[in-house]
Amino acid sequence: MSEPVTETKVQRVERLKRELNPWGAYAEIERFARDGVGSIPPEWLGTYFRWWGIYTQGDGVGAVGGKGGEGPAVPYFMLRIRIPNGFLTASQLRTVADLAERHARGIADLTVRQNIQLHWVGIEALPAIFRALTACGLSSLGTCGDVIRNITGCPLAGLDGDELLDASALVQAATAMVNGSPEFYNLPRKYKVSITGCRVWCSYPEINDVGLTAVRDPYSGRVGFSLRVGGGLSTRPHLAPRLDAFVRPEQVLAVVKGVSEIFRDSDVLRQNREKARLKFLFLDHAWTPERFQTALEARLGFRLDPAMPEVLPDEAYRDHVGIHPQKQAGLVYAGLPILRGRLTPDEMRAIAELALRHGSGEVRATSMQNLAVVNVPAWRAAALERDVVAAGLRLDGSPFRRGTVACTGSEFCKLALTETKGFARWLVEDLEARLPGFQEHVRINVTGCPNSCGQHWIADIGIEGKKVKVDGRLLDAYYFCVGGAVGKYQAVARPIGYRVPAAHVPEAVERLLRAYLAGRRDGQTFRAFCAAHTDDELRTFLAGAEVAAVVRDTPAARSPTGSTADDRTDPTDPTDPTGQERRP
């Protein structure tokens, strides 16, 4: 008698996707809302809900509280709201505020892909939330799952005086083409697209599956796009290579469609969920940019023009904080730093009111988890600033407040090893007290697990959540990766072998930044300073003494988070009180 065949994880997910397009099964969600959380079958909890922007929510302990690298869920959900190009109206922001207050315990988080996430959502509330979102022109469709996620772009599209092209209409058109389309409901894995016309590439095209950045043809003066494909972070970061292509604006939709079809039809990427992103064609299957372009042009049915010379962003700081002029004469925009991206309903309503009172009623979400009020008459800037302060908000901030990004963390994420949102706020406030006069641009990215939702691989200082045992207690800890960059000096941050409990992170960052201030030469940037020093030297700066390197990951069997069992319970022995082995 033959043994029953057991499905692997990837086989089960692929079967479920073939059996049902969740976008055509909304009636099931309404049934679950009527019948209660106990009526939801596993295939919806673990797979189908994601196509509607719904994730099961963790119990606050994260992966450490569960088995196999994933923590247990509570009977509540996270709902992610899609905001193409980050464009919001005051009315839409008010709607999100109302939903957060009524159904999400007053919590809303801005994400690095210009979305807004709600937490603590009960199954019975989903139909009312969907109706409210639809009524104001928003949607959660396609913000999770094996689909084309929110398409990002420059939040100042149409307003930036230095932009080459307002690409926001292309973002909206591409969204309409793919989101909800049965052609693209079943991709091998999640898939990310960025289209920007700005010169500083503030939507980080380098880490997207498709990155289109405006470039000018020096001969004709016409503006089109450079094309990069196969970018992504997670446990194996890969910065997208550029193809030899100049994409005309009228070709953008066809190119997005063609690249997406290549990904969709790559069965080799459907064999392992951990190696299913587009980047693995390059990392594991010997694809080259030339091979990819040949395949793309075969899909398109025409040859793309050769690439044009492009000017890469040079040490550009890609945030939009403060009051700055727009290209429209007499108008300014006001960027508000939102620490760790977290907003209360009252804060969202206040920002919506600011947009209506002083601007055109429009708000823009940025990839740095901030918001901008736009189209403000310059003569109203002073009044706007007064109202911002009166609302308990800010128009400026220290480099730490402006430059720190944090993922969801173990507060709500089942895959996270560490709590990140509260930690990021404490870290910023502590660094502001330790280094009150620090004025250099430094990007600090906090991620709660190796999956890099907090984008630590492209940060000046990226810290990745781990666990260490100190005096027999398992504590949140962070491993340092230093020197990441995008643009002209693009590089993946270097894991430098330093890990400490979370409580010791601020003092380590302070030591590193003081070493930078004391040792930099002729206005040297922090990125350049890190590039000029070895891993051992940077580790010594962080620790304040020579310390032995610790491994970032151990060769045990990997969990679904990409971390290992040893990462979650590593007792680091012998240790000093910081969990780092010191050299004798």
Rounded Cα distance between 451 and 453, Å, is 6
Q: Catalytic one among 144, 413, 449, 453?
A: 453
Question: Is the pLDDT assigned to residue 1 strictly greater than 80?
Answer: no
**How far are the Cα atoms of 252, 443, 488, 510, 526 from residue 521, in angstroms, in the given order?**
43, 20, 20, 19, 11
User: What pLDDT sits at residue 3?
Assistant: 58
The question of whether 189 is a catalytic residue gets the answer: yes
Strand partners, 476: 467
In degrees and rounded to multiples of 5, residue 406 shows phi and psi of -140, 140
Higher pLDDT, 397 or 102: 102
Let me know: does 214 contact 202? Beta carbons within 8 Å. no
Q: Catalytic one among 454, 483, 562, 579?
A: 454
360 residue type, one letter: S
For every residue of 424-453, DSSP letters joined together read HHHHHHHHHHH-TT--S---EEEESSTT-T
Q: Catalytic one among 17, 80, 264, 552?
A: 80
Question: In sequence order, what are the residues at sequence separation of 6 or more whose Cβ sits closer than 8 angstroms to the Cβ of residue 169?
Answer: none
**How far are the Cα atoms of 161, 243, 425 from residue 381, in angstroms, in the given order?**
18, 43, 28
Give residue 568's pLDDT band: very low, low, confident or very high (50, 70, 90). very low
Q: Which residues of 271-310 are buried (b: 16+ CB within 10 A; e: fewer)?
A: eebbbbbbbbbbbeeebebeebbebbbebbeeebeebbee
Question: In sequence order, what are the residues at sequence separation of 6 or more whose Cβ sits closer than 8 angstroms to the Cβ of residue 512?
Answer: 461, 482, 538, 541, 542
Average confidence (pLDDT) over 177-206: 97
Q: What are 500's two structure tokens? A: 């400490």
Let me know: does 447 contact 487? Beta carbons within 8 Å. no
User: What pLDDT sits at residue 5?
Assistant: 66
Rounded Cα distance between 365 and 90, Å, is 12
Let me know: does 84 contact 180? Beta carbons within 8 Å. no
Domains in the chain, ordered, with CATH?
9-82+116-135 (no CATH), 168-300 (3.30.413.10), 322-396 (3.90.480.10), 401-569 (3.30.413.10)
Give residue 563's pLDDT band: very low, low, confident or very high (50, 70, 90). very low
Rounded Cα distance between 296 and 258, Å, is 6
Rounded Cα distance between 569 and 66, Å, is 13
At 52-76, the pLDDT tens digits run 999 999 988 888 877 777 888 899 9
Give residue 582's pLDDT band: very low, low, confident or very high (50, 70, 90). very low
Q: What are 381's two structure tokens? A: 């800037």
User: What pLDDT sits at residue 152?
Assistant: 98
User: What pLDDT sits at residue 558?
Assistant: 36
Q: CA 170: distance to chain centroid?
A: 21
Q: What is the DSSP letter of 454?
A: T
Q: Catalytic one among 149, 189, 273, 527?
A: 189
The question of whether 270 is a catalytic residue gets the answer: no
SS3 534: coil
Question: Is the pLDDT assigned to residue 333 strictly greater than 50?
Answer: yes
The question of whether 94 is a catalytic residue gets the answer: no
Rounded Cα distance between 305 and 443, Å, is 36
Neighbours of 227 (CB within 10 A): 30
Q: Catalytic one among 50, 82, 190, 552?
A: 190
For every residue of 59-98, DSSP letters joined together read -SSGGGGSBTTBPPEEEEEEEEEB-GGGEEEHHHHHHHHH
Q: 112: closest CA among 367, 370, 318?
A: 367
Q: What are 110's two structure tokens? A: 């801005």
At 419-458, the pLDDT tens digits run 999 999 999 999 999 999 999 999 999 999 999 999 999 9
User: What pLDDT sits at residue 278?
Assistant: 98
Task: Identify whether 306 is preceded by a cis peptide bond (ω within 30 of 0).
Answer: no
Give residue 224's pLDDT band: very low, low, confident or very high (50, 70, 90). very high
Q: Catalytic one among 448, 465, 483, 487?
A: 448
CA quadruple 529, 531, 532, 533: dihedral sign: positive
Query: Percentage of the chain with pLDDT > 90?
Result: 88
What's the mean pLDDT when you consider all of the chain? 92
Average confidence (pLDDT) over 340-367: 98
Q: CA 459: distance to chain centroid?
A: 12
Residue recorded with tokens 């039809």: 265
At 376-430, the pLDDT tens digits run 999 999 999 999 999 999 999 999 999 999 999 999 999 999 999 999 999 999 9
Q: CA 482: distance to chain centroid?
A: 18
Rounded Cα distance between 543 and 498, Å, is 8
Let me know: does 482 contact 491? Beta carbons within 8 Å. no
Give residue 4's pLDDT band: very low, low, confident or very high (50, 70, 90). low
Let me know: does 231 contact 240? Beta carbons within 8 Å. yes
At 140-171, the pLDDT tens digits run 999 999 999 999 999 999 999 999 999 999 99
Angle ∠(502,503,507) on CA atoms, nearest 5? 105
The question of whether 453 is a catalytic residue gets the answer: yes
Question: Is the pLDDT assigned to residue 566 strictly greater than 70?
Answer: no
**How far are the Cα atoms of 23, 47, 189, 581 from residue 180, in angstroms, in the given order?**
6, 16, 16, 52
Q: What is the DSSP letter of 23?
A: G
* Exposed / middle / buried, residue 132 (Cβ in 10 Å: 0-12, 13-18, 19+): middle
* Exposed / middle / buried, residue 102 (Cβ in 10 Å: 0-12, 13-18, 19+): middle
Question: In sequence order, what are the residues at sequence separation of 6 or more whose Cβ sits closer than 8 angstroms to the Cβ of residue 410?
Answer: 58, 60, 61, 62, 63, 64, 71, 416, 417, 418, 419, 420, 448, 465
In degrees and rounded to multiples of 5, residue 334 shows phi and psi of -130, 110
The whole model's pTM is what?
A: 0.93
